[in-house]
Structure 1
Amino acid sequence: MTALSMTKYPRFFLCLLPFLLLFLQGCIGDNTIAVQLNDDVLGLIVFKSDIQDPSSHLSSWNEDDDTPCSWKFVRCNPVTNRVSEISLDNLGLSGRIGKGLEKLQHLKALSLSGNNFSGDVTPEKLALPTNSLEILNLSRNRLSGRIPSSLVKMSLIRVLDLSENLLSGPVPDNLFDSCFSLHSLSLAGNSLEGSIPSTISRCLSLNNFNISNNRFSGNLDFVSGFWTLERIRTLDLSRNLLSGSIPQGISSLHYLKEFLVQGNHFSETLPSDLGLCIHLASIDFGDNHFTGGLSDSIQSLNSLTRFGLANNLLSGDFPHWIGELRKLEYLDFSGNGFTGSLPSTMGDMKSLIFLSLSNNKLSGIIPSSLGYCTKLSVIHLSGNSFNGSIPEDLFDLALEEADLSKNQITGSIPTGSSKLFESLHVLDLSSNKIKGTIPAEMGLFSNLKYLNLSWNNLQSRIPPEFGLFRNLTVLDLRSSALYGSIPGDLCDSGSLDILQLDGNSLTGQIPEEIGNCSSLYLLSLSHNKLTGPIPKSISKISKLKILKMEFNQLSGEIPMELGKLQYLLAVNVSYNRLIGRLPVRGIFQSLDQSSLQGNLGICSPLLKGPCKMNVSKPLVLDPNAYNTQMDGGDHKHHSESSPLTAKSHHKLFLSVSAIIAISAATLIVIGVVIISLLNISARKRLAFVEEALESMCSSSSRSGASVAVGKLILFDSRSTLEGLENPVSLLNKANEIGEGVFGTVYKVSLGADHNHQERTVFVIKKLVTSNITQYPEDFDREVRILAKAKHPNIVSLKGYYWTPQIQLLVLEYAPNGSLQSRLHERHPSSQPLSWPQRFKILLGTAKGLAHLHHSIRPPIVHYNLKPSNILLDENFNPRISDFGLSRLLTKLDKHVISNRFQSALGYVAPEMACQSLRVNEKCDVYGFGVLILELVTGRRPVEYGEDNVVILSDHARVLLEEGNVLECVDQSIGDYPEDEVLPVLKLALVCTSQVPSSRPSMAEVVQILHVIKTPVPQRLEVF
């Protein structure tokens, strides 16, 4: 057998190789070493054939070699010459882990971390040499399915790492029945759920246990065996759904170094014996519901380097003994209710790098001894009641972030040292009582990205040195008693995203150089004393979304060039001295009265004042730009300066308008007639084709279909669940929870397979039989396309069931029901949705729709977006359901369209009223706009009174034009931020534009909502 023949027919010879090996074994008798070596070669070559290696890392793996021991990434036992270790980490490999590896019967360590391997981890799909493996690392891949109890031989395994995959479902309780050798277990970063297996307490040799970033639930009382794992060093339960208290007994873990439980639902007090774990180096209890104070015993944890308690309900005095923790590097007590002052002994923590005490009830001065913490890089003290001045020693450190905002700090801004000039990225001193000038030396902060000095009493000019900033993205100097002019070189760097100078006493003109701020998306100069025209150069800021210039003394006309700003979402130029027409493009034609009022003569039908133009005679270009207001003060001037009288102009204009209207109406009528005739012809041809196809398919279906009929198909596991041999039996009236255009919805509890005792709640949707795809292959293909639409804000499609008589979809269950029930069918005893919850629902829904529209090809159009199709999970995150079900229809006949229109009255885009089948993503954008209005107002899209019908979008549009749109906000929300609600309402009206091309895409909607929610980016978003 030559190498050439092996290369030419590799698959053929791989299949023959086992028989050839048996033949050779018979020829060489007891000399079995060659056969054994070839077993290893065979196994690795078969494994290689199932994967993709775009960078040819495995090029040294040659099937002609007698042994793989010289191959790259392979190690052999020097005594037996058998493969003992394979390490293929971070090589960009993909594909499936086939059955070749089971040939390697002496393999002890297998590491495939950081690749793109996919497929189930069931024994049938993932064949491993379980009788020899001691180390298995499959982390950071795309493996899916449930973890089987027979994945590895637990009595041998020492390290098992399945973290950061797509694994789901509960962990088998019997997985750890014989885990005597297990030292390290990591299941982090999956979608595992259910309780933590109680048998974990049998792993007495366990050093590392990490199940973070999953969906494990329940409490730790029944897993009290944790406290028997005396050798445990790392215990990471963070970011799950665990609840209850942390039981006593943790002090028995003598070697425990890391105890991380942040991001759960734990409550009650912290364990009192925590201070007895003397080797603890890292504690994080953040983002839970713990109450009470801190035990003084914690001060004995001399090895502690990380101490996190952020966002709990803890109270009491700030611990005076905190300085005893000399090795502490990370301290985060933010978001609690600690009181008292900071002890001067905090300066004893010489190793401290990160300090966050924001949003407590602390008072007193900031200790100058913090200047002794020479390694301090981040200090967050915002949202307290600190007073006194900023310690100058603090600004001599090499800080990267300093947030002292929302306190009562007085004095001036320290100059800072050369260390600070090079290191500082974020400086927030806003909402204090700081006085004095802004130090010119601040211009030397070469790496500064975020600067907020707003809401102080600086009484200073804007230093021209600010033009030296090269990396600054946010500059917020609002309401700081600034005076003088705006420096022309403020935007020389071109890096600014946000510039806010509102509420000062700035004078002079807006510099023409403002156009150099090419990356700005928020420019706010309102409530100053600025004069002169609005610079045309603003039109160069192509990314601009928000422009605020109200309450100044700006004059002249708004430059027509500003109409080119296609991303502009909000503009306010009210209470200036502006005149003339508005730009004819962009946002300007849809501005409300509140954005324009208080000027000398802006021409808009919304304003009652005179219309002043910088031309000698009126140029009638836009019928909406003029009304009877022109019969006021300028009427005489117009009559004298024009060859025709105003009356003749009016008649001429009306006649031209009439001609255009009649012509347009005629064209529309002709178009409707032609389309109707084409539709009739098309229906006849379609009917003929459908009859022919039905005849062909019915004959072919008799020969057998390739897709299983009458069997439940699950996409993560092809096995039928226990008790579901006849799923139709579950569809009884007691389980019914809803009904829609496409079918009836049932809530059922499905049993797990024979290895699991838990039962999981799912939703089964029984589809309508009319017009549903009647052939299993077509149905399977379309359902699998929908199943690929995986996103945190989209309901996951788990599987389906098909017979000629009934078609079922198995879907993820959302425990908080639909948005319809929470918004319009809420029980009086339940709490209404708060504004943060409503905004989260809007943003999540927008992200889900954007995924359907932009991340899937061809795009999936929902067709039927409404509150009943927005489901809410346990954390009130929205999940879009019923998306793309029209793909399962053979045709959209009048009956289906009519039913959909009746069920989604008020949500359907106007272009669908003609029953056109050529719809696109902009139909969903319209429905999303109506959904915004419904969430903000709490009203239905169409409401019927005794004498009238109220269309919600029209009602909100009228209120916006009158400047009273906030009157329609749902009163049950309670307090809400007007600076968020108002632009959200405006966005809704843009989305519900009658012209589809005027609506934004869902990707743009997501971007706009992010801007509305965080006009000033969060600290981490600056980088």
Structure 2
Amino acid sequence: MGMKMRSCCAVVMCLTFLVGCLGGETLQLNDDVLGLIVLKSGLEDPSKSLDSWNEDDESPCAWKFIKCNPGNSRVSEVSLDGLGLSGKIGRGLEKLQSLKVLSLSNNNLTGSINPELALTPNLERLNLSLNSLSGNIPSSLSNVSSLQFLDLSQNSLSGPLPDNMFQTCFSLRYLSLAGNRLEGPIPSTLPRCTTLNHLNLSSNHFSGNPNFSGGIWSLTRLRTLDLSNNVLTGSVPVGMAVMHNLKELILHGNQFSGDLPADVGFCPHLSRLDFSNNLLSGTVPESLQRLNALKFLSLGSNFLTGDFPQWIGQMSSLEYLDFSNNGLTGSLPTSMGDLKSLKFLSLSSNKLSGAIPSSIAEISSLSVVRLRGNTFNGSIPEGLFDVKLDEVDLSRNELTGSIPPASSKLSETLQMLDLSGNKITGDIPAEMGLFSKLRYLNLSWNNLESRMPPELGFFQNLTVLDLRSSGLIGSIPGDICDSGSLAILQLDGNSLTGPIPEEIGNCSSLYLLNADHKFYGRSLSHNNLSGPIPESMSLLSKLKILKLEANQLSGEIPQELGRLGNLLIVNISYNRLVGRLPAGGIFQTLDASAIEGNLGICSQLLKGPCKLNVPKPLVLNPYAYGNQMGGQNRGNERSRSSTNFRHHRFLSVSAIVAISAAAVIAVGVVVISLLNASARRRIAFVDNALESMCSSSTRSANMAAGKLILFDSKSSPDWPSASFDSVLNKAAEIGEGVFGTVYKASLGGQGTTVAIKKLITANTLQYQEEFDRELIVSDYAVEGSLQAKLHEPSPSSPPLTWPNRFKIVLGTAKGLAHLHHSCRPPIIHYNIKPSNILLDENLNPKISDFGLTRLLTKLDKHVVSNRFQSAPGYVAPELACQSLRVNEKCDVYGFGVLILELVTGRRPVEYGEDNVVILSDHVRVLLEQGNVLDCVDLSMGKYPEEEVLPVLKLALVCTSQIPSSRPSMAEVVQILQVIKTPIPNRMEAF
């Protein structure tokens, strides 16, 4: 609202005061009008839902979304749910002294919760869920003793809860604070809420032991208890037998340890039980079989052991069963078929063995079957393919036999089928092409020894087709992409022959072609594809990964492939290809490993011959320059014999070459002379000296770096009469590094702030006698170094979010890739650490302190010793040797440590009283234990696990102790770009 509304509100307040002196009833009505108009004035109402609220009305009882008490005509309910309102909740609500229900959920409200809300003494229901409210939950809410329903879920509320939060919660029946950023312990006053029947504190950062036995188990009226997705620890002790009313117990995503409570089966009304994603151990309690009403049971991702419960068939009400990612042994009982209501079954990643019981096929309601990563043997039960299943994952077992024929029921419903990593033989059933809803098909790593049936082209919705190393023979069907939906095609490691079909250009949605999506690990196996690479591949505009290595492909690479601007990874090595690489796209930045082993690809990276398929010799037409010849000469030329004409043409080419060579030599002489003259005049400064180290004229757009400036003893043009000693004084000092001290200064007359590093003079400069001052000038980084931003933030500085951290990782990787791959010889930094990563105002990274070794005649002892002392944890292990084998892989190691530091928020080496924690070792151990996400820095808030997990894995590969096992920085950039644009559907299967 504008000034007019503020004036109206002021007038209403004055009128209310005057009327209040005359009588009571009118005062009360005006109070309600006033309070609601003040509330409206702080809100933006794009849909004009509150237009009926008029300050001229005597009563608001006829207004939309308002209810009044018929006894006293006071406002008793305000319900503004889902109206798209934004703005802040003002103080007007405290005027509504008879208000019992306030519901503002599912809007875009911001700001903090006003403590004055507690001034409405009769409030019974408060619902502010699904907004963007922030700040702490006010402790004054604990004074509202009449409150029965409190829902503040799905906001951005933070901080710990006051311990007296539930001091007077005797009336509270429903409490949900889920989906916020609350932290600290659960208040000890919670057991005072004796009438509570719904408690949801999930998806926060609550920590510590929630005190089950002495606290939560005393809330005997609870029907729902959800503490999931926090950082709660300790055990879940027995004592649940008193929870007779409990229907839902959800504790997944914490760090609870110890055994499952043995008396969990004594809660007779339980319908949902979820202990998944914790650290629980021991066996599955036998008391579970008593839960006849249980529909949802999830104990996945723990450390449970012992035999699979043979009594599971007695839990006849189960609809969802998940025991995945544990250590259960034994076989599945035939009584599995008694679970007639079961829809979801996941027993993946255990140690189960034996045959898959055929009785599973008797569960007609079954929709999802996941038995991946066990040691099941025998054949696939034929009846299983007669059920209306949506998803079947039997991968990574020891199944034999053939793929059963599928019924029409399965073809109508199946969306995902994964039989990879078994010992299945026989043909691919032709009827698979009739699966109208199938999106994901993975038959890789089997022994099919089958041809690809042409019916595979009938798929209407297939997105992923993975047939790697499955014994396929024959050719690739030309109609494999007729559906137009295929995004990932993996056929590597077979015995396929013949050409790549020209129809491959019809795969308009193709995203990845013939690649192992795990960027490190085993190498790709061979096929025997022959013929040229089809030019039609240039139509695959979405293609990001193209791997065709180890085949018999021949001819030149189509230049049109350079148009594929989305390509991130290409490997065409070990074929029979010749000729030039495409001029555009990624092809000009490929390293030798991606193109080696061919007949004659033209590249400076290869030592072999360059072969071009040129059908005719190059002929220069002498008449093309007729305007430069006299008419008599042209006439004489036409009258010569054909023999003399050919001879003249040869002489013309030779003459052109000779003239060109002479011109080059002449230009070189002139340049050298100018350089010598320039040296005699003692150049004041050399602009862009660092860029001159790079032979390539192409620069990375994301490569941000300063300039190297060598000043003489005279004044610089940028400081016409400045004295460097006065500019670079103690007050201007902002940091100190191995190579010297850094100062902040302004360029005179330009208003530009720069950072200047004065180098140490311990015999470091190669031509020190030519310069009296040794300085490096770069752009001043407004946000300072990553070291300060990450480990020494100011109180007002917000924490680095995951998008910003990923931006820093990717930007730094691109910068290092530029130094390593775009410069000849490569520039090696060998001191990558957060203090050398500077951040501009948009948190774009700038790499500092690089290229200095190009100015050094040798690594002097002072610099070397300081280098190791100033960068503990970042230095590659091979640099500890006396030989100091400096190469690009040293930077890769330091970059890997930098990633770990950014993701975890911890330093690379931490010293305790009794031990030393090496960050890379710590993360590697957590990864092996399956708990690597426990090390993620919680200060960055919500983060996508599908990005963070592969980034952590990449960091561990970069910090490999063996230099040759580390990827190049070009490969690192490609991997990061793929991680940022995740491949759709179930890529976890790769």
TM over 0.5: yes
Letter in 1 for 2:408: S
Q: Contact between 2:418 and 2:443, CA under 8 Å: does it hold in 1? A: yes
Secondary structure of 2:190's counterpart equals helix
Deviation at 1:375, TM superposition (A): 1.5
One-letter amino acid matched to 2:586:
I
Distance in structure 2 (CA, Å) of the matches to 1:326 and 1:380: 20
| Residues 1:846 and 2:791 aligned together | no
On the 8 A contact 1:906/1:942 being kept in 2, the answer is no
CA contact (8 A) 1:575 1:596 kept: yes
Give the match for residue 281 of structure 2.
291
Q: Which has the larger radius of gyration?
A: 2
Do the aligned partners of residues 788 and 212 (structure 1) sit closer, same or farther apart at CA in structure 2, a change above 3 Å counting?
Answer: farther
Find the counterpart in structure 2 of residue 1008 from structure 1.
Answer: 978
The separation in 1 between residues aligned to 2:390 and 2:921, in whole angstroms, is 43
- Per the alignment, residue 67 of structure 1 pairs with 59
Query: Does 1:390 find its partner at 2:389?
Result: no
Match status 1:112 vs 2:111: no
2:309 alignment partner in structure 1: 319
**Do the aligned partners of residues 212 and 971 (structure 1) sit closer, same or farther apart at CA in structure 2, a change above 3 Å counting?**
closer
Aligned-residue offset at 1:908: 10
CA contact (8 A) 1:984 1:1009 kept: no
Kindly tell me: are residues 209 and 51 of structure 1, through their superposed partners in 2, closer, same or farther at Cα, counting changes over 3 Å? same
Judging changes above 3 Å, is the alpha-carbon distance between structure 1 residues 949 and 514 closer, same or farther for their aligned structure 2 residues?
same
- Cα gap change, 1:810/1:569 in structure 2, threshold over 3 Å: closer, same or farther? closer
List per-residue Cα deviations over 1:484-531 (Å, max 9, x = no partner).
221112112222221000111212211111112122221118621211
| Alignment partner of 2:437 out of 429, 441, 447 | 447
- Select the residue among 445, 462, 483 that pairs with 1:493: 483
Partner residue in 1 for 2:522: none
**Matched AA of 2:229:** R
Number of the residue aligned with 1:528: 527
Contact residue 944 and residue 950 of structure 1 kept, 8 A: no
Aligned mates of 2:110, 2:476 — CA distance in 1: 57
Q: C-alpha distance in 1, partners of 2:853/2:70? A: 73
Q: Distance in 2 between matches of 1:217 and 1:86?
A: 35
CA contact (8 A) 2:892 2:968 kept: no
Instruction: Sort the Cα spacing of 1:70 and 1:977 in 2 relative to 1 into closer, same or farther, 3 A.
Output: closer
The letter of the residue matching 1:952 is E
Q: CA deviation at 1:942?
A: 12
Where does 1:563-712 land on structure 2 (aligned, <5 Å)? 563-615=562-614, 643=650
1:657 CA drift (Å): 6.2
**Whole-angstrom distance in 1 between the partners of 2:673 and 2:201:** 69
Tell me, in whole angstroms, the C-alpha distance in 1 between the residues paired with 2:665 and 2:176. Answer: 75
Shift of 1:938: 6.2
Q: Secondary structure at the match of 2:352?
A: strand
Work out whether residues 830 and 891 of structure 2, in 8 Å CA contact, stay in contact via their aligned partners in 1: no
Distance in 2 (CA, whole Å) between partners of 1:346 and 1:51 is 57
SS at match of 1:235: strand
Alignment CA distance shift 1:956-1:272 (3 Å): closer
Query: Which runs of structure 2 are paired with 1:509-908 in the superposition (5 Å)?
Result: 509-524=499-514, 527-615=526-614, 643=650, 800=795, 845-847=805-807, 869=834, 883-884=839-840, 904-906=848-850
The answer on whether the counterparts of 1:122 and 1:151 sit within 8 Å (CA) in structure 2 is no
Give the aligned partner of residue 860 of structure 1. none
Query: Which sections of structure 2, spanning at least 5 residues, go unmatched?
Result: 516-524, 620-646, 689-708, 737-741, 747-780, 814-828, 855-870, 894-919, 929-952
- In the alignment, which residue of structure 1 is the partner of 2:628? none
Partner-residue secondary structure (3-state), 1:107: coil
Amino acid at match of 1:59: D
Quote how far apart the aligned CAs of 1:217 are: 1.0
Aligned counterpart, 1:23: 18
1:333 paired to 2:293:
no
Match runs of 1:394-433 below 5 Å = 394-433=384-423
Inter-partner Cα distance in structure 2 for 1:234 and 1:865: 56
Q: Give the aligned residue type for 1:112.
A: L
Secondary structure of the residue aligned to 1:176 is coil
From 492, 495, 500, give the equivalent of 1:502. Answer: 492
Aligned position for 2:218: 228
What are the within-5 Å matches in structure 2 for residues 957-976 of structure 1? none
TM-superposed deviation, 1:845: 3.5
SS at structure 2 position matched to 1:342: coil
The answer to whether the 8 A contact 2:957-2:967 is kept is no
Q: SS of 2:215's equivalent?
A: helix
CA distance in 2, matches of 1:189, 1:557: 57
User: Using a 3 Å threshold, how does the CA distance of structure 1 residues 393 and 865 change in structure 2: closer, same or farther?
Assistant: farther
Letter in 1 for 2:570: V
Structure 2 residue aligned with 1:87: 79
Question: Superposition RMSD on alpha carbons, in Å?
Answer: 4.7
Provide TM-score, normalisation by structure 1: 0.69
Cα drift, residue 444 of structure 1 = 1.3
Q: Distance in 2 between matches of 1:671 and 1:100?
A: 69
Q: TM-score, normalised by structure 2?
A: 0.71
Q: Distance in 2 between matches of 1:317 and 1:423?
A: 33
Deviation at 1:293, TM superposition (A): 0.4
Q: 1:434 is paired with a residue of what secondary structure?
A: coil
Q: Structure 1 residues 454, 38: closer, same or farther in 2, change over 3 A?
A: same
Relative to structure 1, the CA distance from residue 499 to residue 62 in structure 2 (aligned partners, 3 Å threshold; closer, same or farther) is same
Match of 1:950 in 2: 886
The 1-side partners of 2:252 and 2:664 are apart by 67
Give 3-state SS (helix, strand or coil) of 1:20's partner: helix
User: Matched residues in 1 for 2:563 and 2:666: separation?
Assistant: 30
Matches within 5 A, 1:49-448: 49-123=41-115, 127=117, 129-151=119-141, 153-221=143-211, 224-448=214-438
Cross-structure match for 1:48: 40
Change (3 A) 1:315 1:662: farther
Residues 242 and 266, structure 1, Cα contact 8 Å, conserved in 2: yes
1:989 to 957, 970, 976: 970
Identify the residue that residue 805 of structure 1 maps to in structure 2: none
Which residue type is aligned with residue 475 of structure 1?
Answer: L
Alpha-carbon offset, residue 275 of structure 1: 1.2
**Pick aligned residue for 1:460 from 429, 450, 457:** 450
SS at 2:141's partner residue?
Answer: coil
How far does residue 1006 in structure 1 lie from its aligned partner after superposition?
A: 4.4
Equivalent position SS for 2:384: helix
**Contact 2:783–2:839 (Cα < 8 Å) also in 1:** no
Tell me the secondary structure at the aligned position of residue 63 of structure 1: coil
What one-letter code is carried by the residue in structure 1 that aligns with 2:588?
Q
DSSP 3-state at the match of 1:43:
helix
The residue identity in structure 2 corresponding to 1:10 is M
State the percentage of identical aligned residues: 51
Are the equivalent residues in 2 in contact too, given 1:940–1:952 (CA < 8 A)?
no
Q: The residue matched to 2:256 in structure 1 has which SS?
A: strand
Residues 662, 392 of structure 1: CA spacing in aligned structure 2 closer, same or farther, 3 A cutoff?
farther
Distance in 2, matches of 1:641 and 1:571, equals: 46
Structure 1 gaps, min length 5: 1-5, 621-639, 692-739, 745-767, 773-785, 801-808, 815-840, 854-863, 871-879, 889-896, 911-933, 958-969, 992-999
For residues 198-225 of structure 1, give each alpha carbon's deviation from its aligned partner in whole angstroms, at most 9, with x where no partner exists.
Answer: 1101110000111111111111347721
Distance 1:591 1:865 in 2: 23
The CA distance in 1 between the partners of 2:160 and 2:396, in whole Å, is 45
Instruction: Sort the Cα spacing of 1:886 and 1:413 in 2 relative to 1 into closer, same or farther, 3 A.
Output: closer
Q: d(CA) in 2 for partners of 1:599 and 1:480?
A: 26
| 1:78 Cα deviation from its structure 2 partner | 1.9
Q: Report how many aligned residue pairs link the two structures.
A: 791
Tell me if structure 2 keeps the 8 A contact 1:794–1:848: no
Alpha-carbon separation, structure 1, partners of 2:213 and 2:659:
87
Deviation at 1:57, TM superposition (A): 1.6
Separation in structure 2 between the aligned mates of residue 576 and residue 1020 of structure 1, nearest angstrom: 30
C-alpha displacement at 1:455, in angstroms?
A: 0.9
| 330-339 vs 151-160, which moves further | 151-160
Stretch deviating more after TM superposition (93-102 or 419-428): 419-428
Aligned with residue 10 of structure 1, among 5, 8, 27:
5
Kindly state the Cα deviation for residue 532 of structure 1 after the two structures are TM-superposed.
Answer: 1.0
* Separation in 1, partners of 2:887, 2:283: 54
